[in-house]
Structure 1
Amino acid sequence: MIARLAAGLFALALGFPAAANIEIQQVTSPGGVEAWLVEDRSIPFVALEFWFVGGSALDPADRRGATYLMTGLLEEGAGEMDAQGFAAAVEGLAASFEFDASRDAVTVSARMLTQNRDAAADILRAALVEPRFDADAIERVRGQVLSIIEGNARDPNDIAATTFAAMAYGDHPYGSPQEGSAESVAALTRDDLIAVHRSTLTRGRVAVGAAGDISPEDLGVLIDRILGDLPAEAPPRPGPVVNNLAGGVTVVEFPSPQSVAFFGHAGIERDDPDFFAAFVLNQVLGGSGFQSRLMGEVRVNRGLTYGIGSFLSLADLSPALLGQFSSSNELMAEAIEVVRAEWVDLAANGITQEELDAAVRYMTGEYPLRFDGNGTIAGILAAMQSDDMPVDYIVNRNAYVEAVTLEDVQRVAARLLDPEALHFVVVGQPQGLSPGN
């Protein structure tokens, strides 16, 4: 959110080997913060990633949007530096910091040259530990957030996803947008931002990934330099929530020649023994490319949409199987029936061996391409820790995919795909559709 990037910096983030050759070192700082490191001394540059697990789901019920607004203010002045002074200091060191918020984490991405590492770390520490929350900065960023909220209210894709979440999760934090509402954001005070800063950015629930020109010993010292003055204890997170949304169609009127559909139902946890079978199943159902069932039936064979896909959402507190597509108002009802038919067929009959083989080839072939630079790798390492994944996951991941059998996928298709629970939120003016279809 609202990031500044030093010109040319990411040209330094190239040259890492394939995933199977990545060696992860586990590091514990003198202050007790754990981190994972991929060391590479070929370029005088290091990327750091901090994931403060909890995110906007920690917002008090009457202060929705507080974490999102607070995160946007972390680069708007810290310590003795106002917003302009902070920006000048970062740019003067050819460093870059990005601060972002999601419902499950506040993420901080840092890129810095080896020769400027300590000075850049001190500026980052100030942003995390001593944000100023100046009145003018609060109003400036509040205005930006209110503009985002206003724009989302006119975006049929956002309306569809937001409506689905509200129906599925109700009063749980997942049930409302992390940006908050215009009313909740307008009511936020500086004290609210200070309170959510103290509860969200803690050492008690942070995952750290690093990649580049730094030793494990130096990384430990650097982590404590940046995070050592943050609170040690993290507040409790909200409990999990089950998506109990019943099957059917919800229509939200919106003046447009085409409609947007957001659909899905409950999913599967990452640590479930059947996860990789579900992962492969989704690739066949609605994964990347034109080989998926949904793309083939809805677009290629019938021309009802330009694109459609599904994905396994691994949200910490409520995993889901979701999808989205758009279609003209006169074709949306037919497109929904085709999607339902694929859900029914896969649940009852599963996939073919040819589909399994194609999915495994694609998934194992594209995986090494994700590791295309130290910034990306640092982010992957932090994400793995936040999801409690084993340190050898990268090395073994393709083997897990290749171990999935046809019988595994058939069993999981019958377990996971629930046509009776499949719900569609349609935003537009679809013909032949009304709530309850």
Structure 2
Amino acid sequence: MTMVNQLRGAAANYIQVLLVLLTFASAMPAQAAITVQEINTSSEVKAWLVEDYTHPLIAISFAFRGGSTQDPSGKEGAVRLMSALLDEGAGELDSDAFQQQLDDAGAEVHFGVGPDTVYGSLRVLADSKDNAFALLKRAIEQPRFDQAAVDRIRAQLTSNITAEAKDPSTAATIAWRKAIYGDHPYSRRKEGTKQSLAAVTASDLKALHTHLFARGNLTIAVAGAIDAEALKHDLDQIFGSLPSDALLMDVADAAPQLGQEIRIPYALPQDRMRLAYPGINPKDPQFFAAYLMNHILGGGSLTSRLWNEVREKRGLAYGIRSSLVNNEHASALIIETSTRPNRAAEALSLIRTEVRRIAEEGVSEEELEAAKKNIIGGYAINALNSSSAIADTLVANQLDGLGIDYIERRKQLIQVVTVEDVRSAASCLLSADPAVMIVGPPIDERKG
């Protein structure tokens, strides 16, 4: 390595370390007010912006609707492969040159895929934004999909699939999705299979990119040291040349198939259990009643009913948790835990009892007030603790259709929830017969 390259590498490393330090330093005070502006550019790119000059850092988060549900039939994993290649060469830059220029700019760029979106983010010091934004533009607008890079990343993903095939959690998740979602695209792994990945060509990747990456399909949020006028110009430069409209396959809404028991025999020291109940959309008027109910039931971890009954009082599990899971086309309330095989029936019965109790009896005023305090107080810590976290949160809020003033309204939306509201939400969601999955030793091999 030449002295010039050594100095260049040292400078890039210094900037990366500085970015990390500024990320931790930029955590906002728990009660800091956040003003969200809507930005509309001349090329009809829209974004939400939070200006913050506490540190010289800019964070951009964005998402294109249409994630792994857009995989062509027989080529599952194609969107995941495409997203992994976006920073592996773009425009006139091959993979090595692109990565070198990212390092020189001191920028952190990430791409990923979920069931409903292809998402990305960029963090950079404000003084270095122009070079970083130019690279992001190339990655989004002109990914190369060079065959050598395609083969290399495909091999990495295939190796991961091979390794995960030996993991009981992966096998269980695949079986769970198939049982719950049937033939819906949510039943498929975003990683695909070895066979489906092998079928994907560079032409497939280029077609997917053309279909998904459009201005009308784009959600953006920015937080940090940049003003509205500068951001308008920069957003036009990055995203303005994309086509107006995406070409997405229609995806139907999915109702999880409940009322079934799935047993997966696996030689494990503990049974892993998962239960699924109906969920609720974030835009539903009962959402926060359900959110508070879930917190009291099992989402509040060390303070929840399930934790106290299953873990603390009886020692049936090291941990247990419930959560509201929301995708664009389906929602569910999920309970997960692990327990000794000879105590699995007892643990499952106890979980069902606690679910039935909260569905029939609701919660107390004391439980509700404690949950409100915890959820309101934790929001800034969990969702608004850095420029990157703010940008991510604002993208999620836009995708959920929650409105630009949601952060301001959220506290009041929680505070007005009553005990009766929680009882109604619990009765609505938890009166159904759940889907249950148990992964562990076959019945005839259990001891105790």
Measured against the shorter chain, the TM-score band is: over 0.9
Post-superposition offset of 1:61: 2.4
Q: Are 2:256 and 2:330, in contact at CA under 8 Å, matched by a contact in 1?
A: no
Q: Deviations over 1:78-113 (max 9, x none)?
A: 112111111110010111101111111111110112
1:427 counterpart residue number: 439
1:188-207 matched pairs, under 5 angstroms: 188-207=200-219
CA contact (8 A) 1:330 1:430 kept: no
Aligned to 2:306: 294
* Alpha-carbon distance in 1 for matches of 2:128, 2:365: 54
Contact 1:160 1:261 in 2 (8 A): no
CA contact (8 A) 2:277 2:432 kept: no
Does the C-alpha gap of structure 1 residues 318 and 432 become closer, same or farther in structure 2, counting only changes over 3 Å?
A: farther
State the AA in 1 paired with 2:291.
F
| Alignment of structure 1 residues 23-422 onto 2, 5 Å | 23-370=35-382, 371-420=384-433, 422=434
What is the root-mean-square deviation of aligned Cα atoms in Å?
1.9
Q: Distance in 2 between matches of 1:195 and 1:323?
A: 39
Whether contact under 8 Å (2:69, 2:251) holds in the other structure is no
Shift of 1:129: 1.1
Q: Secondary structure at the match of 1:80?
A: coil
Give secondary structure in 1 for the equivalent of 2:322.
Answer: strand
Please give the secondary structure, in 2, of the residue aligned with 1:141: helix
Shift of 1:333: 2.1
TM-score normalized by the length of structure 2: 0.92
* 2:17 match: 7
Give, as a single letter, the amino acid of the residue that structure 1 aligns with 2:341.
N
Q: Secondary structure at the match of 1:235?
A: coil
CA distance in 1: counterparts of 2:418 and 2:258, whole angstroms: 31
1:136-168 CA-to-partner distances (Å, cap 9, x unmatched) read 211111112112222332223333332221111
Structure 2 residues without counterparts, runs of 5 or longer: 1-12
Give, as a single letter, the amino acid of the residue that structure 2 aligns with 1:94: G
* Closer/same/farther in 2, CA of residues 316 and 382 from structure 1, 3 Å limit: same
Please state whether the residue corresponding to 1:306 is helix, strand or coil.
coil
Secondary structure in structure 1 of the residue aligned to 2:303: coil
The 8 Å contact of residues 49 and 379 in structure 1, kept in 2 or not, is answered as yes
**2:271–2:440: 8 Å Cα contact kept in structure 1?**
yes
Higher RCO (CA 8 Å, separation ≥ 6 residues)? 1
- Equivalent pairs counted in the alignment come to 430
What amino acid maps onto 1:363 in structure 2? Answer: I
Q: Match of 1:8, as an amino acid? A: L
Q: Report the residue type matching 1:366 in the other structure.
A: G
Shift of 1:237: 5.0
C-alpha distance in 2 between matches for 1:418 and 1:381:
33
Distance 2:252 2:444 in 1: 36
Residue type matched to 1:415 in 2?
Answer: C
Structure 1 gaps, min length 5? none
In structure 2, give the amino acid aligned to 1:283. H
Name the SS for the 1:366 alignment partner: helix
Q: Give the TM-score of the pair, scaled to structure 1.
A: 0.94
